A = this chain, B = another copy of it.
């Protein structure tokens, strides 16, 4: 069983600068691997005014989900993303997975949420990951 796609794109990444309450404003790249083999992801972060940050490697085990916090360097192989700056994400995987992206914004007195599936790249559009 292979479900999903090997390349996913997320245009709207943004880590709000401010947080209130006990939850920091953050985003999560949420991955589901329904397959029977572990998937190795290679994540690229794109910016408006500088070259991409490439080759952040993350493993999602077989038949597991993983919700990667992009504000926590220890979840991104030590890479740190700047706050208050637009970014975008490309997730490539050696086995098909499904990717969703969500933001929790606590910069106001109440929290706000948004989410979307990432855009799956079709096999005839994409090179190997």
Contact = CB atoms under 8 A, between A and B. Distances in A.
> How many identical chains are in the complex?
4
Interface of chain A, main secondary structure: strand
B67 A2 contact: no
Contacts of A10: 32, 100
A24 interface: no
Interface residues of A, number: 61
13 contacts: A3-B125, A10-B32, A11-B67, A30-B86, A34-B46, A46-B64, A48-B67, A49-B64, A65-B86, A103-B115, A110-B110, A117-B117, A117-B118
B117 A119 contact: yes
Given A86-B30, A119-B4, A120-B119, A11 B113 contact: no
A32 B14 contact: no
Interface string A91-110: 00000101110111111111
